[in-house]
Structure 1
Amino acid sequence: MTEAMLLFWRKGFHATSLRDLGDALNIRMPSLYAAFGSKEALYVEAVDLYMRATRTLLWQHLENGQRAREAIRELLVATAGELTNREAHPGGCMVTFATTDEDMPTDVIAAILDARQDWLDIIRERLEAAVTEGELPGSTDVNALSRFYFSMVQSIGIQAHDGVPYAELVTIVDIAMSAWPVAPAKGPAIEASRVA
């Protein structure tokens, strides 16, 4: 299954033929259909495998107990590191580069959009917790901030695919982190009479 995922990642859905998949999985066409049902079903399984792998490698940074700002930065830095690692897999992000054009099968489009929504939801949940914990101001537009940092994940995927080196992507991450809203400092209120 990993071989099919890497093939779809490298070539995309339309450019990957059934012959390509049969060769990658070392099985004949009848066995391919018997095992997966269709090319579309195999692609959906490949996306699921990709999502489980990225959850382990990348998205777990948001669930490791760190403060949200550090967790988001670690997620973005880890994404840059993983997606520029062309020795392990194709460059860039499989889900970011997947198209949802009208000529794509409905099941394939749904798998891609669900994967993207899952990533956005993971970021949003962590930022909502940061508001509750007081790390982010209560006035924070969590939806907009979630989409901003999710767009950074997608941008890293695109730029990694285009060959931008890891060090440059980390610099971009640090610039993105400068947009982090600052919560008001906590401390005892100072009485006006004491200030005079």
Structure 2
Amino acid sequence: MPGRGRPRAFDRTTALSRAMMVFWQNGYESTSMTDLTGAMGINSPSLYAAFGSKERLFREAVSHYDETEGAAAARALREQPTARDAIAEVLRINAVAYTDQEKPRGCMIVLSATLHADCGEDLHDHLAELRRSTERAFRERVERGIADGDVPAGVDAATIAGFYNALLEGMSVQARDGASRAALSAIAESAIAAWDVLTGVR
């Protein structure tokens, strides 16, 4: 007895990756269903059957971005031996990632702040929370450094996290505006050099 329905004629992960690239380049509002189906190689009924709606597809694409493009930086925060090393590695990784010639420039999640100004409130709040999560991850890594003894006790972890998160977001915007890899790397190295001043190390 034949199974119910017909199997999907496309690889879902590949289609999602292609949708991610379109959203990353164009933003949510500026991306049309025709843009998506053309890039994904599927028709509208298949897109809706697999992903539900444009907004649900976008949310899934953002999660896919975080899990794939953001994996190296997340690993650096976990695995580097000190808080300074961890945040330094995140900055260096992203100076390279934001200027990858094979991909849209900048960070998809950061750029959503400017590329999705007209999206619904729920989606806007979702994106804002994702951006804040990076700052929380920085703060938690600094707090871990305090506990481990590689960051001086009494350091304001929230302020340091806010500084490096703001700098990272600025690097993303500059990358989209055409800044070179060398320019972003120089910014990253300057910010790393500021660590001792920010933490009061002498």
TM-score bucket of the superposed structures, by smaller chain: 0.7 to 0.9
1:183 positional shift:
4.2
Instruction: Tell me how many residue pairs correspond in the alignment.
Output: 183
1:5 is matched with: 20
Contact kept, 8 Å, 1:135 with 1:183, in 2: the verdict is: no
Deviation larger for 160-169 or 93-102? 93-102
Structure 2 unmatched ranges of 5 or more: 1-15
Q: Note the aligned Cα RMSD (angstroms).
A: 1.7
Counterpart amino acid of residue 108 in structure 2: M
Task: In structure 2, give the amino acid aligned to 1:178.
Answer: A
Q: Which residue of 2 aligns with 1:193?
A: none
Aligned counterpart, 2:107: 93
**Which range is displaced more, 102-111 or 72-81?**
102-111
- The answer as to whether partners of 1:47 and 1:111 remain within 8 angstroms in 2 is no
Q: Name the structure 1 match of 2:34.
A: 19
Q: Would the alpha carbon gap of residues 103 and 161 (structure 1) be closer, same or farther in structure 2, given more than 3 Å must change?
A: closer
Q: What TM-score does the superposition give when structure 1 sets the normalisation length?
A: 0.86
- Partner amino acid for 1:161? R
Equivalent in the alignment of 2:137: 122
Per the normalisation by structure 2, the TM-score is 0.84
Indicate conservation of the 8 Å contact 1:40/1:107, yes or no.
no
Cα separation, partners in 2 of 1:127 and 1:113, compared to 1, 3 Å: same
Q: Distance in 2 between matches of 1:162 and 1:169?
A: 12
* Alignment partners' CA distance in 2, 1:83 and 1:56: 14
- Residues 43/107 of structure 1: CA separation in 2 closer, same or farther (3 Å cut): farther
Which residue does 2:46 correspond to in 1? 31
Runs of 4+ in 1 over 6 A off after TM superposition: none
Paired residue type of 1:177: I
SS in 1 for 2:77: helix
Equivalent residue for 1:147, pick from 152, 162, 170:
162
2:113/2:128 contact within 8 Å kept? no
Does the 8 A contact of 1:80 with 1:156 survive in 2? yes
Alignment of 1:98-177 (within 5 A): 98-99=112-113, 103-177=118-192
* C-alpha distance in 2 between matches for 1:120 and 1:177: 16
Bigger Rg over Cα: 1
Deviates more, 1:105-114 or 1:63-72: 105-114
**Residue identity in the other structure for 1:158:** V
Alpha-carbon shift at residue 78 of structure 1 (Å):
0.6
Per-residue Cα deviation, 1:36-60 (whole angstroms, up to 9, x for no partner): 1111110000100011113322221
